[in-house]
Chain A
Amino acid sequence: MMLRLPLAYMADRKLMTGLNILLLALAVATLVMLLVVSSQLSQRLSRNAQGIDLVVGAKGAPLQLILSAIYQMDQPTGNIPLSSIALLRRNPMVAQVIPMALGDNFRGYRIVGTEPAYIDLYGARIDRGRMFGEHGEVVLGAEAASRLGAGLGQKFLGSHGLSAGDGSSDHDSHPFETVGILQRTGTVIDRLVLTSIETVWEVHGIGHEETAAADHADEAAPDHEDEDHDTHATADADREVTALLVRYRSPAAAVRIPPMINRQTSMQAAVPAVELSRLLGLLGAGIEGARLFAWLLALIGGLSIFVTLLNAASAREADLALLRVMGASRAEVFGVVLAEGLLTALLGAAVGVAIGHIGLAVATELFVSFKELGLQPWEPVPGEIGIVLAVIAVGLSASLLPALRVFRMDLAHTLGRTH
């Protein structure tokens, strides 16, 4: 019954109401975006690193090695000799070694040469078709398949480099053929084109001449290193891999193997857990700062509601006194003022949640790194309820003081005023 009045009051001063809603919405949108990104980020980062105790690759920044080998986000640090696989597999403390050879990309989706064990690592099942086998056969991750609109039996050519538009020419002589499509896993594998290591070698390596015009700005790409800088004469030397994903058999391995690799070989060993926590720590500081800013914005929104309602309450004092005379209880009149603040906050929160998710969706379309992270812009995070509740609390406390004026109102005086 008393809901129509606060709505009418809100409509009566559209500009102020709109401004307050906008302020709160911006705060909520920022908070929602931060929340979704940070929670999905840490969740996805740790899910993708599950079952990987160690990454072995070329020397360079350990974080870069982790990002490129596990998350397929950065350029690899370089290549390592094929013999490294045997070296680690021989070690009794090692349970599993999965080699990876990063190839080119197919319309922005990375082509990764590996073994079927890599697919098992993420618990990915074949949805249609079968596992890659013979040279040239590839299996597509669920998202890569659906975004590319690729079906079984389809043939395609890879492009140079690891992301779309990196290179200049297609490898015209070695078409890939899609033989399988994986089920969705919610991990990095969804966005990959998987094939055997031999296939990657075949496409890049031996006897394959690059056109002189090709631009090789990104030196880190494995194919480029091979072709431009190294002058290995033998085919075997060309047979390199990019990184090894290692799982330990015993905890003792954690103490022994990384120093062994780092000191006794020209390779580096990076521990995902260590690099991850360092990365999250770095991101965390930035996210905390942005979050503080957003709460400040919410506070300003609350203050603005407070000022608006306080102004309005004195302008509407006669209305409210009239309601009392017409028989509305103090609580009902109190509720009218409170409802306006509450509705403003509620609208601000709703609009903010919508803007937040739309913003994330736009960001995932605009920025490749968001897409590479596998960010799901529409996936709600439980913490959003907390943000909405907090903003409602802000609106409620902002309207409490103006609403309390109702109790101190001198009805006879207010209604007797002749203005």
Chain B
Amino acid sequence: MPVALDLRCVDKAYGDRIILQDFSVTVDKGEHLLLLGPSGSGKTTLLNLIIGLLKPNRGTIMIAGEDVADTSHGGHDAIRRRHVAVIFQTLRLISAISIRDNLRLTQRLALGQADDKAIDHMLDALGIGHRASAQPRSLSQGEAQRAAIARALITRPTLIVADEPTSALDDGNAMRVADLLLHHAAVQGSSLIIATHDRRLQDFIPRSITLAQTATPST
């Protein structure tokens, strides 16, 4: 089984506040992983390390066999482009352009060109095909969540990381969103890491790791 993500002996601290120490995890291609832990335990920090927004103090981070922690900036961008998609807690849809244009822009950045047919197909599959031309700010919370999921899926990435995708939703919506995300990730074979303190998701994803509160200032 090819490996999508491989973290080895990663240390991460903000100043002298240690968040991760000697942390290792491997996610196979197509595998889904739930990243649990209370608020402040370092879930977002870990995701930011994976998507390259943060540098580890120590250790290696490999995505699809390429070292993200150790590449030059240009190489870094290229790996993100090709392999990783992110669903942010605050969604981060670009509000000045339509949902379809948000997806087009993502496709162009990742694949070099937009594919309107694939976009319409994806939006239909997520039940927001009729909102394709709408601006993000006119969407409901549930619709916006689906749009963000569509944007993550549209480039068929090796790895999708999602930060608290269901925390803001009620039970019914949370289940539907989780179901959609897991289903479509599985269909296209993308690995999936969901960081959440929402234990409802454990019913969907068998494999989980839990980060402990590591608020132990080193002295």
| Chain B residues near A323 (CB-CB < 8 A) | 105, 109
Is the CB of B73 closer than 8 A to any CB of chain A?
Answer: yes
Whether A322 contacts B92 in the complex (CB less than 8 A), given A4-B101, A8-B101, A327-B80, comes out as yes
Whether A326 contacts B88 in the complex (CB less than 8 A), given A4-B97, A5-B96, A12-B96, comes out as no
- How many whole Å from A236's CB to the nearest CB in chain B? 85
Is the CB of A311 closer than 8 A to any CB of chain B?
Answer: no
| Chain B residues near A11 (CB-CB < 8 A) | 96
Q: Establish whether residues A327 and B44, one from each chain, have CB atoms under 8 Å apart when the complex forms.
A: no
Is the CB of A260 closer than 8 A to any CB of chain B?
Answer: no
Q: Establish whether residues A417 and B96, one from each chain, have CB atoms under 8 Å apart when the complex forms.
A: no
Q: Establish whether residues A327 and B48, one from each chain, have CB atoms under 8 Å apart when the complex forms.
A: no
| Chain A residues near B51 (CB-CB < 8 A) | 325
- In the assembled complex, the Cα of A5 lies from the Cα of B94 at a distance in Å of 9
Whether A412 contacts B97 in the complex (CB less than 8 A), given A5-B105, A323-B109, comes out as no
| Chain B residues near A326 (CB-CB < 8 A) | 80-81, 85-86, 105-106, 109-110
Is the CB of B22 closer than 8 A to any CB of chain A?
Answer: no
Q: Establish whether residues A327 and B96, one from each chain, have CB atoms under 8 Å apart when the complex forms.
A: no
- In the assembled complex, the Cα of A346 lies from the Cα of B78 at a distance in Å of 32
Q: Establish whether residues B89 and A418, one from each chain, have CB atoms under 8 Å apart when the complex forms.
A: yes
Q: Establish whether residues B44 and A416, one from each chain, have CB atoms under 8 Å apart when the complex forms.
A: yes
Q: Establish whether residues B94 and A322, one from each chain, have CB atoms under 8 Å apart when the complex forms.
A: yes
Whether A9 contacts B74 in the complex (CB less than 8 A), given A1-B108, A4-B101, comes out as no
| Chain A residues near B171 (CB-CB < 8 A) | none
Q: Which of B54, B89, B109 contacts A327 (CB 8 A)?
A: B109
Total A-B residue contacts, Cβ distance less than 8 Å: 67
| Chain A residues near B48 (CB-CB < 8 A) | 412, 416
Whether A417 contacts B90 in the complex (CB less than 8 A), given A8-B101, A411-B53, A412-B48, comes out as yes
Which chain B residue shows the least CB distance to A329? B77
| Chain A residues near B95 (CB-CB < 8 A) | 12, 319
Q: Establish whether residues A412 and B90, one from each chain, have CB atoms under 8 Å apart when the complex forms.
A: no
Q: Establish whether residues B78 and A327, one from each chain, have CB atoms under 8 Å apart when the complex forms.
A: yes
- In the assembled complex, the Cα of A382 lies from the Cα of B131 at a distance in Å of 50
- In the assembled complex, the Cα of A411 lies from the Cα of B109 at a distance in Å of 17
| Chain B residues near A329 (CB-CB < 8 A) | 74, 77
Q: Establish whether residues B90 and A418, one from each chain, have CB atoms under 8 Å apart when the complex forms.
A: yes
Q: Which of B53, B78, B89, B108 contacts A412 (CB 8 A)?
A: B53
Q: Establish whether residues B109 and A415, one from each chain, have CB atoms under 8 Å apart when the complex forms.
A: no
Interface string of B164-179 (1 = CB under 8 A from A): 0000000000000000
Q: Establish whether residues B96 and A9, one from each chain, have CB atoms under 8 Å apart when the complex forms.
A: yes
Q: Which of A12, A325, A418 contacts B53 (CB 8 A)?
A: A325
Q: Establish whether residues B80 and A325, one from each chain, have CB atoms under 8 Å apart when the complex forms.
A: yes
- How many whole Å from A287's CB to the nearest CB in chain B? 42
Which chain A residue shows the least CB distance to B52? A325
Number of A residues with CB within 8 Å of any CB on chain B: 26
Q: Establish whether residues B53 and A327, one from each chain, have CB atoms under 8 Å apart when the complex forms.
A: no
Q: Establish whether residues B77 and A412, one from each chain, have CB atoms under 8 Å apart when the complex forms.
A: no
- In the assembled complex, the Cα of A12 lies from the Cα of B110 at a distance in Å of 25
| Chain B residues near A290 (CB-CB < 8 A) | none
| Chain A residues near B44 (CB-CB < 8 A) | 416
CB proximity to B under 8 Å, residues A365-419: 411-412, 415-419
- In the assembled complex, the Cα of A326 lies from the Cα of B82 at a distance in Å of 9
- How many whole Å from B197's CB to the nearest CB in chain A? 14
- How many whole Å from A65's CB to the nearest CB in chain B? 65
- In the assembled complex, the Cα of A4 lies from the Cα of B92 at a distance in Å of 18
Q: Establish whether residues A8 and B97, one from each chain, have CB atoms under 8 Å apart when the complex forms.
A: yes
| Chain A residues near B89 (CB-CB < 8 A) | 418
- In the assembled complex, the Cα of A328 lies from the Cα of B106 at a distance in Å of 9
- In the assembled complex, the Cα of A9 lies from the Cα of B88 at a distance in Å of 22
Interface string of B93-122 (1 = CB under 8 A from A): 011110001000110111000000000000
| Chain A residues near B52 (CB-CB < 8 A) | 325
| Chain B residues near A328 (CB-CB < 8 A) | 77, 109
Which chain A residue shows the least CB distance to B48? A412
Whether A327 contacts B74 in the complex (CB less than 8 A), given A4-B101, A8-B97, A412-B48, comes out as no
- How many whole Å from B98's CB to the nearest CB in chain A? 9
Q: Which of B78, B97, B106 contacts A5 (CB 8 A)?
A: B97
- In the assembled complex, the Cα of A419 lies from the Cα of B90 at a distance in Å of 8
Interface string of A32-62 (1 = CB under 8 A from B): 0000000000000000000000000000000
| Chain A residues near B90 (CB-CB < 8 A) | 318, 415, 417-419
Q: Establish whether residues A318 and B101, one from each chain, have CB atoms under 8 Å apart when the complex forms.
A: no
Which chain B residue shows the least CB distance to A417? B90
Q: Establish whether residues A415 and B88, one from each chain, have CB atoms under 8 Å apart when the complex forms.
A: yes
- In the assembled complex, the Cα of A37 lies from the Cα of B101 at a distance in Å of 47
- In the assembled complex, the Cα of A287 lies from the Cα of B110 at a distance in Å of 54
Which chain A residue shows the least CB distance to B82? A327
| Chain A residues near B74 (CB-CB < 8 A) | 329
Is the CB of A330 closer than 8 A to any CB of chain B?
Answer: yes
Q: Establish whether residues B94 and A319, one from each chain, have CB atoms under 8 Å apart when the complex forms.
A: yes
- What are the nearest 3 A-B pairs in CB distance? A327-B81, A412-B53, A12-B96
Give 18 CB contacts A-B under 8 Å.
A1-B108, A12-B96, A318-B92, A319-B92, A319-B94, A319-B95, A322-B88, A325-B80, A326-B86, A327-B81, A328-B77, A328-B109, A329-B77, A412-B53, A412-B54, A415-B53, A418-B90, A419-B90
Interface residues of A (CB under 8 A from B): 1, 4-5, 8-9, 11-12, 316, 318-319, 322-330, 411-412, 415-419
Q: A4-B97, A325-B53, A325-B80 are in contact. List 4 more A-B contacts (CB 8 A).
A: A4-B101, A326-B81, A327-B110, A412-B54
